Structure 1
Amino acid sequence: MKTPVILISGFLGAGKTTLLLRLLQAAREAGMKPAVLMNEAGAISIDGPVAQSGGAIEVLNVLGGCICCTLKGDLHAALQEIARDLKPELLFIETTGIADPVEVLDTCTALDLVERLDARGLISVLDVEHGLDALRINDLARRQLELAQIVVLNKMDLADPAWFPQLQARVREVAPAARQVNTVRCDVDGAATLKELLAMPAPRTGDAAVDGLLQDAHGHHHHDHGFLALSYRVREAESREALLAALRALPSNVIRAKGFVRVKGDERLYICQWAGGHAQAHVFPLEGFNPAPTIVVIGRELNRADIELALKNLSPVGV
């Protein structure tokens, strides 16, 4: 029996992992045993343990780049391992925020995988606070929506009513066949969304739209689309507030930051995030998980000195 595959895409910081957790919960409640293939741009996995805490029976990580180009061979090998050895009842693939989903889809439908994997729905997440700007200036953000069958317009609590209708119209232009869902923290109806995605056959090579996007992608790839990911080992923060202040001090060309950090005087592990000008840090719930404190920073034209200055109170050491 083939393993159904659901692909989750979206730009950096849009909320992909939050959506994944919703769908994992729905799969578990339906009695399914899902696995996750997680692609992260940094050298160290942050989102993989998050997926594990959400109940995935197995999480495979493809790290250090983008599975649609520089790590495409690693993606193929990971899918072969999953199909041959794990044989889960359902597979979620969450791409890094700098991946083009059309090439991931192309790999999923390779001749040596189609007998074991069944590519189903493609769902993409868009941060509504920054969505119009992203679609205007970033070709990659647009490409992440073009084949989506469901587009989750996330962070509606940050949407401006004055321009939100423009964003909805722009998404309809980019992904005219997609159903749009408005959410806060990707609070979709997990069971209904999972059922809908499993009932959808994914776009496939041979379709004119897919083949056109593939040809365009092959002609424009270069070094993970100009993005760079830097990973740092860090010492404990003086306080949660000091950790948040360090994240807010990151330079403006940092688009995304995330990591695991300890706080002085607190035995608990914290997961921290920065995206779209918003910093968060909360206790990580996975018991027995004890990683080296690490922060991964993603952006364009990153300057190590600027980042290390922002994180100076955490004594960052590049990995």
Structure 2
Amino acid sequence: MKDHIKTIPTNIITGFLGVGKTTAINSLLANKPESESWAILVNEFGQVGIDQEMMPEQEGLFVKELPGGCICCALGSALTPTLKALIEQTHPDRLIIEPTGIGHPEGIIDILMSVSFMDKLDLRATICLLDPRSLEQQEVLDSETFHDQLNLADVILINKCDLAEESQIEVVENSLNQMFPPKQHIARTTRGVIDSSLLDIVRNGQLKAQFPEAHAHHHHSHEHQDNALPEPHKPIRKTGHGSGLFSCGWVFHHEDCFDYWALEKILNGLEGISRIKGVIRIGHAWVFFNRVKDEHDFDKVAYRRDSRIEIICPRELDWEQIEKDMLACQIS
């Protein structure tokens, strides 16, 4: 008789750009059982990895990043070998996958349910975070991927309720409660707090994508020197575009230091932005800068390797000028 093969509980955590997925995963990690090891696969649309740097370094945690496109399309061929290597190297008790905010979940679900992983993974609830204010943004409502993130989710958490009006939250709740098949769990939350028991909800295999071809129409390209290293005052710049969005990321030398307030003025002065993320050295301290649309915040972080900034927007900007403006904010 064959020994029973233990499969790894696996969850996908989705949500549109800037909804708070990384914050949500960090809230789960704060309550991770000490006896368990978890593996996290993070996919970023941008070219320089930042989300991975925002996750804690702790015993029993293994984080792997796939930047530079969506794992549902441009990086699809890399997902299977990357996952296999991650599983073989870490033997985790749980696996969590965070796709980019414009990633269509169906392609990822198909791979996780394929013969390559049927004896390795136990795909459980897909959890989608939703900013209730997004239903008032036409570019979000026009996104087929956004709708299928909701369609394919077993659990939907209405996040950022502290920033939204009660009327906005109620409209979202009413809309979600009318979906069919019905969701297994709908709840409000702030700061991405997720009840860890939701991870073990059994996946509803009847959920279907409304726009199954949406992820097939994403095209990505990027331009950068993979092996190049930044020099003082000479950052590495990496650009890419796809899915109707453009990205540009910079990696600065460890010694480069910024006047935060001057740099904040530059980053907040850019118009038509979808997302800006950065980890920035400002002397002896380092901060994480986070801008979604026209809202931003910052906080101290433990990260210490280098400064890096990523901009995502629906049109190509003058990256050369932006780089010059950021370099002008450096201090000795």
Q: How far apart are residue 158 of structure 1 and its match?
A: 1.6
Structure showing greater radius of gyration is 2
Aligned to 1:59: 63
Which shows bigger deviation, 226-235 or 85-94? Answer: 226-235
RCO (CA 8 Å, sep 6+): is it higher in 1 or 2?
1
Aligned to 2:265: 245
Q: Distance in 2 between matches of 1:88 and 1:82?
A: 9
Q: How far apart are residue 16 of structure 1 and its match?
A: 0.3
Contact 2:159 2:191 in 1 (8 A): yes
**Does structure 1 residue 312 correspond to structure 2 residue 297?**
no
Q: How far apart are residue 312 of structure 1 and its match?
A: 1.1
Contact 2:145 2:215 in 1 (8 A): no
**Does structure 1 residue 28 correspond to structure 2 residue 43?**
no
Contact 1:128 1:158 in 2 (8 A): no
User: Residue type matched to 1:158 in 2?
Assistant: L
> Among residues 305, 311, 318, which one is paired with 1:290 in the alignment?
305
Number of equivalences: 298
* Structure ranking higher in helix proportion: 1
Q: Distance in 2 between matches of 1:54 and 1:124?
A: 25
Q: Distance in 2 between matches of 1:54 and 1:243?
A: 31
Contact 2:144 2:211 in 1 (8 A): no
Q: Distance in 1 between matches of 2:15 and 2:109?
A: 14
Contact 1:260 1:294 in 2 (8 A): yes
Q: Which runs of 5+ in 2 are unaligned?
A: 1-5, 221-241
Aligned to 1:183: 189
> Among residues 269, 275, 281, which one is paired with 1:256 in the alignment?
275
> Among residues 248, 258, 276, which one is paired with 1:230 in the alignment?
248
Q: How far apart are residue 251 of structure 1 and its match?
A: 1.8
**What CA deviation, in whole Å up to 9, does each residue of 1:146-184 have, x standing for no partner?**
111111111112212333322222333456324222122
Change (3 A) 1:77 1:157: same
Aligned to 2:295: 278
SS across alignment from 1:290: coil
Q: How far apart are residue 258 of structure 1 and its match?
A: 0.4
Aligned to 1:7: 12
SS across alignment from 1:130: helix
User: Residue type matched to 2:122 in 1?
Assistant: D
**Does structure 1 residue 159 correspond to structure 2 residue 172?**
no
Contact 1:155 1:186 in 2 (8 A): yes
Contact 2:39 2:96 in 1 (8 A): yes
Contact 1:39 1:62 in 2 (8 A): yes
SS across alignment from 1:245: helix
Same amino acid, percent of matched pairs: 26
User: Residue type matched to 1:242 in 2?
Assistant: A
Contact 2:7 2:122 in 1 (8 A): yes
Q: How far apart are residue 195 of structure 1 and its match?
A: 2.0
SS across alignment from 2:17: coil
Q: Which runs of 5+ in 1 are unaligned?
A: none
Aligned to 2:80: 76
User: Residue type matched to 1:303 in 2?
Assistant: L
Aligned to 1:194: 196
Q: How far apart are residue 112 of structure 1 and its match?
A: 1.4
Change (3 A) 1:311 1:105: farther
TM score, norm. by length of structure 1: 0.84
Q: Distance in 2 between matches of 1:35 and 1:70?
A: 22
User: Residue type matched to 1:258 in 2?
Assistant: K
Q: Distance in 1 between matches of 2:167 and 2:60?
A: 40
Q: How far apart are residue 131 of structure 1 and its match?
A: 3.5
Contact 1:83 1:113 in 2 (8 A): no
Contact 1:28 1:55 in 2 (8 A): no
Contact 1:24 1:54 in 2 (8 A): no
Aligned to 2:91: 87
Change (3 A) 1:246 1:170: farther
Q: Distance in 2 between matches of 1:57 and 1:163?
A: 37
SS across alignment from 1:110: coil
Which shows bigger deviation, 51-60 or 123-132? Answer: 51-60
Aligned to 1:18: 23
Contact 1:102 1:214 in 2 (8 A): no
Q: RMSD value over aligned CA atoms?
A: 2.5
Aligned to 1:268: 285
